[in-house]
Structure 1
Amino acid sequence: MPFLSSPLWLAGFFSLFFFAWGIFLPFWALWLEGEGLTAGQIGLVLGAGLLLRCFASLLIVPRVKNESQLLPAIRYLCFFTLACFALFLFLQGFVLLALGTLLANFVISPLMPLGDALAAKWVSQIRLDYGKVRLWGSVSFIISSSILGGLITRFDHSIILYAMLASLLALVLMSWFKPATLPQDSLQQTNVSVPLWQVLKQPSVVRFMMLTSCIQGSHAAYYSFSSIYWKSVGYSETTIGYLWGFSVLAEVGLMAIASKWFGRWRASQLFMLAGVGVAVRWSMLAFTSELSLVIVAQALHAITFAAAQIAAIRYISEEAPPQFAIQLQALYSAIALGLVTAVLTWLSGYLYPSWQGQVFWLMAVLALPVFWLARRRQV
Structure 2
Amino acid sequence: MNTNTFRFAAYFGAFYLTLGAFLPYFPVWLEGRGISAEWIGWIGAAGYAGRFIISPIAARWSDKAPLQRQPIWALALIALIAFAMHLPTSSPWPLLILALFASACFFGQIPLADAFAMRESRAGKIPFGPVRAFGSAVFVLANFSAGALLDLSGSESVMVFVVTGAVFVVISAFTLPKGEPPAPDTDRKIDWVQFGRLVRGPLGWALLASACIQGAHGFYYYFSAIAWVEQGHSQFTVGALWATGVMIEIAFLWWSGKGLLGRLTPAQLFAVGAIGSILRWGLTSLGPPLPVLFGLQLFHALTYAATYIGFLRFAVESMPDRHTATVQAINSALSGGVIMALAAAVSGYFYAWVGIGGFAIMIIPSAIGLVAAIALQRVSALPHHKEID
TM-score normalised per structure 2: 0.71
| C-alpha distance after superposition, 1:267-292 (max 9, x if no partner) | x7255224213214523653684766
For residues 322 and 312 of structure 2, what CA distance do their matches in structure 1 show? 15
Most deviating of 137-146 and 153-162: 153-162
Q: Distance in 2 between matches of 1:335 and 1:56?
A: 13
Work out whether residues 48 and 337 of structure 2, in 8 Å CA contact, stay in contact via their aligned partners in 1.
yes
1:166 aligns with 2:169: no
- Fraction of identical pairs, as percent: 24
Q: Distance in 1 between matches of 2:96 and 2:277?
A: 37
Give the structure 2 partner of residue 20 of structure 1.
18
Amino acid at match of 2:134: W
1:136-177 per-residue CA deviation (whole Å, 9 max, x = no partner) reads: 333322222322233344446554444333322322333344
| Matching residue's letter, 1:15 | G
Give the direction of change, closer, same or farther, for the CA distance of 1:38–1:345 in structure 2 (3 Å limit): closer
RMSD: 4.6
Question: Which residue is 2:48 aligned to?
Answer: 50
For residue 269 of structure 1, the aligned residue among 265, 271, 294 is 265
Local SS of the residue matching 1:4 = helix
**Aligned residue-pair number:** 369
Distance 1:76-1:189 versus aligned 2 partners, 3 A rule: farther
Alpha-carbon deviation of 1:219?
2.7
Counterpart Cα distance in 1 of 2:126 and 2:302: 21
Letter in 2 for 1:50: Y
Structure 1 residue 97, shift from structure 2 partner: 5.0
Question: What CA distance in whole angstroms lies between the structure 1 residues aligned with 2:60 and 2:152?
Answer: 43
**Which residue pairs with 1:368 in the alignment?**
371
Asked if 1:333 is matched to 2:332, the reply is: yes
Per-residue Cα deviation, 1:213-259 (whole angstroms, up to 9, x for no partner): 13312333544566677789x77457665443322221122233445
Q: Aligned partners of 1:313 and 1:183: how far apart in 2?
A: 24
Letter in 2 for 1:18: Y
- The one-letter amino acid paired with 2:14 is L
Compare 320-329 and 166-175 and name the one that shifted more: 320-329
For the 8 Å contact 2:28–2:226, the answer to whether it is kept is no
Letter in 1 for 2:47: G
Q: Is the 8 A contact 1:53 1:338 kept in 2?
A: yes
Aligned to 1:309: 308
1:77 corresponds in structure 2 to 75
Q: Distance in 2 between matches of 1:270 and 1:127?
A: 32
CA offset at residue 308 of structure 1? 2.6
Alpha-carbon distance change, 280 to 25 in structure 1, aligned in 2, over 3 angstroms? closer
Q: Which moved more, 1:348-357 or 1:22-31?
A: 348-357
The structure 2 residue matched to 1:220, chosen from 218, 221, 233, is: 218
The corresponding residue for 1:4 is 4
**Residues 245/207 of structure 1: CA separation in 2 closer, same or farther (3 Å cut):** same
Question: How far apart are the structure 2 equivalents of 1:143 and 1:261?
Answer: 30
Partners of 1:351 and 1:152 lie apart in 2 by 25
Give the alignment's TM-score, normalised by structure 1. 0.73
Contact between 2:205 and 2:376, CA under 8 Å: does it hold in 1?
yes
Matches within 5 A, 1:1-379: 3-5=3-5, 10-32=8-30, 38-39=35-36, 42=40, 44-65=42-63, 71-87=69-85, 92=89, 94=91, 97-118=95-116, 133-155=131-153, 159-178=157-176, 184-185=182-183, 187-188=185-186, 202-203=198-199, 205-223=203-221, 236-237=233-234, 242-260=240-258, 269-270=265-266, 272-283=268-279, 286=282, 289=288, 294-313=293-312, 320-321=319-320, 323-324=322-323, 327-346=326-345, 359=361, 361-365=363-367, 366-374=369-377, 376=380
Deviations 1:276-328 (A, max 9, x none): 13214523653684766654442221132123324444555776555555544
Give the letter for the 2:364 counterpart: L
State the alpha-carbon separation in 1 of the partners of residues 192 and 63 from structure 2: 12
Distance 2:12 2:196 in 1: 28
Cα distance, 1:18–1:228 mapped onto 2, change above 3 Å: closer
> 1:348 Cα deviation (Å)?
5.8
TM superposition shift of 1:373? 1.5
Q: Which runs of 5 or more structure 2 residues have no equivalent in the other structure? A: none
The separation in 2 between residues aligned to 1:127 and 1:369, in whole angstroms, is 41
Work out whether residues 39 and 348 of structure 2, in 8 Å CA contact, stay in contact via their aligned partners in 1. Answer: no
Structure 1 SS opposite 2:265 = helix
Matching residue's letter, 1:298: Q
3-state SS of 2:183 partner: coil
Query: In structure 1, what residue type is equivalent to 2:76?
Result: C
Query: CA contact under 8 A between 2:282 and 2:359: conserved in structure 1?
Result: yes
Q: 1:73 to 1:229 in 2, by over 3 A?
A: closer
Q: Compute the displacement of 1:19 (Å).
A: 1.3
Q: Secondary structure at the match of 2:330?
A: helix
Provide the rounded CA distance (Å) in 2 between the counterparts of 1:37 and 1:224.
Answer: 16
CA gap 1:282/1:135 in 2 versus in 1, 3 angstroms: farther
